[in-house]
Amino acid sequence: MSTLMKSPINGNELSSQKSLSSWVDNFFENGLGTGFLSNFNTGITLPAVNIKENPDEYILELAIPGMKKSDFNIDLDNKILSISSEVETKNEENSDNYTRREFGYSSFKRTFTLPDTVESDHVKANYEEGILSITLPKREEAKQKPPKRIEIS
């Protein structure tokens, strides 16, 4: 598609054909078109994360709809919390005149460095209605204490 036939009008080519031709050539040759196609539907996205803190714990919430509990891998190694998933889907439909095959692959991995104040032996995870929630309880010494009045002697 690098050249189109030129049509002379008063010694010049048609300006609309030239601009359309240049636009199409630039779209495919300068990488915009191929860059778009190569990045289209790669299945690599990072889920959105909310991090909440209350006096007793931290809560991570990841928006990951359309998955099952068994699709997730959650690991805690020292102070590194890793949340990952790899899902492969295949769908095949056979009919009298055609066969249609669709497949997909998606994956992600998020890692978080946890503070020393997390009680790593009591971390819990729950997946409900597309939200993966991970509860990270605080150690007793890290929990906020109520205000205390000091008497003067």
The pLDDT tens digits for 5-59 are: 444 444 444 444 445 555 545 544 544 444 444 344 445 578 889 999 999 999 9
| pTM for the whole structure | 0.60
pLDDT score, position 112: 92
Residue listed under structure tokens 């008497």: 151
Amino acid at 152: I
pLDDT score, position 144: 80
- Give percent of the chain above pLDDT 70: 71
**Rounded CA gap, 10 and 87, in Å?**
61
- Given this structure, which CATH class describes domain 49-142? mainly beta
Domain ranges of the chain: 8-39, 49-142
Determine contact, residues 117/53, Cβ cutoff 8 Å: no
**Rounded CA gap, 137 and 124, in Å?**
9
Average pLDDT over residues 121-139: 94
SS3 87: strand
Mean pLDDT of the chain: 77
Torsion of CA 127, 131, 134, 135, to 10 degrees: -100
pLDDT score, position 94: 80
How many CA atoms are closer than 13 Å to the CA of 119, on its beta-carbon side? 12
Q: How confident is the model at residue 151 (pLDDT cuts 50, 70, 90)?
A: very high
